[in-house]
A = this chain, B = another copy of it.
Amino acid sequence: MRPRLRDVAELAGVHPATASRALNEHTRSRLSPETVARVLAAAAELSYSPNQMAQGLATNKSSTIGVIVGDLSVPLFPPVLLGIDDVMSQAGYTALIVNTDNDRERELARLATLRSRQVDGLIVATALTGPEAENDKYPAVAPTVFVVRTPNEAGAASVLSDDSAGMHAVIEHLYALGHRRIAHVAGPANISTSVARLRAYREALFERDLPMDPALIATVDHLSADAGAAGLASLLDSGTQFTAVVAFNDLLAYGCYRTMRDRGLYCPQDISVVGYSDQNGSDLVSPALTTVKVDHYTMGAEAARMLLGILRAPDDPRRHSIRVPVSLTVRDSTTTARSGTWPAATSSLDAPPSSGFRQRPA
């Protein structure tokens, strides 16, 4: 059997209550330094560690928080989790990660176990907006901080990236390269980030007096390379002219690559492509993707700090909303705008000869 507090107490020759006080940071001061030392030595000797369940039962705190993500294989989540874990574990909390696999049933089931486990708080990265959202279910379990995505409800604590700044930087970059007609493959409408980036796209175009043709916007209904490919395909099929396309995220941008390849178009000569989020691997694809780098580790860490703040002052009505800065990473998928219109028969011939790496020979 694992050593109990009683064992430590006996070895130190004190009462269990005294041992408890010695082991606990904030009650330690009431004890004589000598006994504290004796107890600590005894605990070390037995390599005692408190039974977290007994401790939790007595204090009515689990020292556990739940972290809800939709799909762990989306590369932005691991660094978010790392940030959360670093901050939380230092504060004595354990993060219980729940992967909902984007399945409603699964999410509800896991939420029930989180409730059963008396989690002290929740960090949620799966918030949706709109009528189907059901974002109230989270605060019903424990104090909640939203990260990456927000339910857009008043009073919700959230940590997001600065989509406005990011998208403005993208448009500025493309504008400087001479692009005037810039398309956007937008994300699903029930994700707050899609809306934010789309709005910023419109604002940025407006500020530069660039055309804001609705035909320049394709909206996908889920996040996959296939969806991105279909999005760009629909833009091309519409006959709209454009020399650059901004995808809601890197995965959609990879889909744009595929559509261009399938249609004999070259990136970046024919169309410049910009991603978003700096998903893992955006430096490995060809051409290396120009994208907006988001510091997901910091977002996780900030969300954790915000939750700690709420846990320490539950009655503090202030609910902040933090936006973490982003930065543009320019790689090889963007270049100066071609002057002619597209489709143009000369496009491929004008382009410099293929160098380096040959792709998918027919």
A residues with a Cβ closer than 8 A to B are 2, 49-54, 56-57, 62, 71-73, 75, 77-79, 81-82, 85, 89, 94, 96-97, 99, 101, 109-110, 112-113, 115-118, 225, 254, 257-258, 260-262, 264-267, 269, 280-281, 284-288, 332, 351-362
Number of copies: 2
* Residues of B close to A265: CB separation below 8 A: 357
* Residues of B close to A81: CB separation below 8 A: 72, 99
| 17 A-B pairs (CB sep. < 8 Å) | A71-B78, A73-B79, A82-B99, A262-B356, A266-B357, A266-B358, A267-B358, A269-B358, A281-B281, A285-B285, A286-B286, A286-B360, A287-B359, A332-B360, A351-B361, A352-B362, A356-B362
Kindly state the separation between the CA atoms of A79 and B99 in the bound complex, as whole angstroms.
Answer: 10
Q: Contacts A79-B73, A99-B82 given: A359-B356 contact, CB under 8 Å? A: yes
Closest to A251 in B: B284
* Residues of B close to A286: CB separation below 8 A: 261, 285-286, 357, 359-360
What 8 A-B pairs have minimum CB-CB distances, sorted nearest first?
A261-B357, A72-B78, A73-B78, A354-B354, A266-B358, A355-B362, A352-B361, A53-B56
Q: Are the CB atoms of B284 and A117 closer together than 8 Å? A: no
Kindly state the separation between the CA atoms of A356 and B264 in the bound complex, as whole angstroms.
Answer: 5
- Looking at chain A's contact residues, is the secondary structure mostly helix, strand, loop, or mixed? loop
* Residues of B close to A49: CB separation below 8 A: 112, 115-116
* Residues of B close to A269: CB separation below 8 A: 358, 361
Kindly state the separation between the CA atoms of A50 and B261 in the bound complex, as whole angstroms.
Answer: 56
Q: Are the CB atoms of A113 and B99 closer together than 8 Å? A: no
* Residues of B close to A94: CB separation below 8 A: 96, 113, 117
Kindly state the separation between the CA atoms of A359 and B331 in the bound complex, as whole angstroms.
Answer: 13
* Residues of B close to A280: CB separation below 8 A: 73
Kindly state the separation between the CA atoms of A79 and B71 in the bound complex, as whole angstroms.
Answer: 10
Closest to A261 in B: B357
Kindly state the separation between the CA atoms of A265 and B355 in the bound complex, as whole angstroms.
Answer: 10
Q: Are the CB atoms of A285 and B287 closer together than 8 Å? A: no
Closest to A71 in B: B78
* Residues of B close to A354: CB separation below 8 A: 354, 358-359, 361
* Residues of B close to A281: CB separation below 8 A: 254, 281
Kindly state the separation between the CA atoms of A354 and B352 in the bound complex, as whole angstroms.
Answer: 12
Closest to A1 in B: B60
Q: Are the CB atoms of B264 and A284 closer together than 8 Å? A: no
Q: Are the CB atoms of B257 and A50 closer together than 8 Å? A: no
Q: Of B51, B77, B97, B357, which one neighbours A360 at CB under 8 angstroms?
A: B357
Q: Contacts A53-B117, A110-B89, A284-B285 given: A261-B356 contact, CB under 8 Å? A: yes
